[in-house]
């Protein structure tokens, strides 16, 4: 048995020396050291040994196993190094090859214009606030002086989740929410950008679009303040040569109310296709805050006055970049977005 063990050790080492790759080494390991390998076979025969011999042969078998394991490990390292060196001498890296270009993202045009508008108004002392897109009938209509049977509701048909809860049709409810939270503190000067929803869908209307609301409340705020602020806005947004025009209009939550036009950004006011030959483009609605809206929101209308305005972000963005179809802003086609 002793001879057998020594023979196995010798034979295995020769095989390991001759093996030329890691796969062969593994085969040899299985053959000699594996569960059903040569060494195990010999050990199975230990039962036939005498009690004196058994420990000696057992020890010998263990040291053969250890010796072979060490030998195997050394050969594994040697072969691994050899393979690595071969690969390194084969593979050449050309550091002068051009790199892969990486696509840089940029802001969506609506996000960008919203940022520009916020910059203009924060520069004038306004704070940026937000309100919920899912709104109650009370804030969206009632508190803005639009009672249940008011015809103004027809123009703002929207998506209801119940009789009193709806997707807001404009950002004006934020006027009431902000005043309620601040009353009777003044001065109050905020703008409120956000998504709004209506039952409209064509080249110039989307069921989801964005508005930016403005509100100022203080002692002695007049219509002249409103005109001044919006003139600065139009000139900052569209260029210093831009002229503004206020046309009388009607909104339930402002009195008096006006619509604001700017001189056409395409033709400068001469008249063209974009302004339908009029030289003017409508950009927003505004007015002096209705006393009833002030009162309902916690401000004494004898003491305080205010102005408000609301504009469509898509409309401003389209005018700014000369985009003629609103839907382009929501299709996320990179061929379009990359031109901006």
Binding site for ligand DAH (CB under 6 A): 170, 172, 213, 251, 254, 285-287, 308-310
Report the distance separating Cα 156 and Cα 167, nearest Å: 11
- In the complex, minimum distance from the CB of residue 170 to ligand DAH, in angstroms, rounded to a whole number: 3
Report the distance separating Cα 139 and Cα 167, nearest Å: 11
Give the DSSP letter of residue 8.
H
Q: b or e along 88-107 (b: 16 or more beta carbons within 10 Å of the residue's beta carbon)?
A: eeeeeeeeeeeeeeeeeeee
Based on CB atoms, which residue is closest to ligand DAH, 269 or 312?
312
Q: Which two tokens stand for residue 249?
A: 């209009």
First to last CA, the chain: 87
Based on CB atoms, which residue is closest to ligand DAH, 235 or 255?
255
Based on CB atoms, which residue is closest to ligand DAH, 194 or 285?
285
- In the complex, minimum distance from the CB of residue 240 to ligand DAH, in angstroms, rounded to a whole number: 25
Token pair 């030959």 is found at 277
Based on CB atoms, which residue is closest to ligand DAH, 135 or 213?
213
- In the complex, minimum distance from the CB of residue 213 to ligand DAH, in angstroms, rounded to a whole number: 5
Report the distance separating Cα 313 and Cα 108, nearest Å: 12
Report the distance separating Cα 307 and Cα 263, nearest Å: 23
Alpha helices in 298-338 (DSSP H): 313-321, 328-331, 334-337
Based on CB atoms, which residue is closest to ligand DAH, 29 or 170?
170
- In the complex, minimum distance from the CB of residue 230 to ligand DAH, in angstroms, rounded to a whole number: 11
Based on CB atoms, which residue is closest to ligand DAH, 4 or 153?
153
Helix (H, G, I), strand (E, B) or coil at 140: helix
Report the distance separating Cα 265 and Cα 268, nearest Å: 6
- In the complex, minimum distance from the CB of residue 178 to ligand DAH, in angstroms, rounded to a whole number: 12
- In the complex, minimum distance from the CB of residue 331 to ligand DAH, in angstroms, rounded to a whole number: 24
């Amino acid at each position: 048995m002793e001879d057998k063990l020594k023979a196995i050790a010798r034979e295995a080492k020769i095989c390991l020396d001759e093996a030329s790759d890691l796969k062969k080494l593994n085969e040899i390991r299985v053959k000699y050291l594996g569960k059903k390998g040569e060494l195990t076979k010999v050990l199975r025969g230990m039962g036939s040994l005498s009690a004196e011999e058994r420990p000696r042969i057992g020890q010998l078998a263990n040291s053969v196993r250890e010796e072979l394991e060490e030998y195997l490990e050394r050969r594994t390292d040697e072969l691994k190094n050899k393979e690595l060196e071969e690969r390194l001498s084969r593979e050449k890296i050309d550091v002068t090859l051009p790199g892969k270009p990486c696509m840089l993202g940029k802001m969506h045009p609506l996000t960008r214009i919203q940022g520009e508008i916020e910059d203009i108004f924060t520069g004038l002392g306004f704070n940026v606030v937000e309100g919920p897109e899912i709104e109650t009938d009370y804030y969206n209509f009632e508190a803005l002086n639009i009672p249940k049977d008011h015809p103004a509701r027809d123009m703002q048909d929207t998506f209801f989740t119940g009789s009193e809860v709806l997707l807001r049709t404009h950002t004006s409810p934020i006027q009431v929410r902000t005043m309620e939270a601040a009353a009777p503190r003044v001065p109050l000067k905020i703008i409120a950008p956000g998504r709004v929803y209506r039952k409209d869908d064509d080249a110039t209307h989307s069921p989801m679009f964005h508005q930016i609301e403005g509100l100022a409340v203080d002692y002695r705020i007049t219509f002249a303040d409103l005109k001044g602020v919006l003139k600065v806005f139009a000139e900052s947004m569209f260029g210093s040569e831009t002229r503004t025009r206020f046309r009388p209009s009607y909104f339930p939550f402002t009195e008096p109310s006006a619509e604001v036009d700017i001189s056409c950004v395409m033709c400068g006011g001469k008249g063209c296709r974009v302004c339908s030959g009029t030289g003017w483009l409508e950009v927003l609605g505004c007015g002096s805050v209705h006393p009833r809206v002030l009162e309902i929101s916690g401000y004494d209308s004898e003491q305080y006055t205010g102005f408000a305005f609301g504009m469509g972000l898509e409309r401003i963005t389209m005018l700014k970049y000369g985009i003629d179809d609103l839907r382009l802003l929501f299709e996320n086609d990179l061929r379009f977005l990359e031109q901006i």
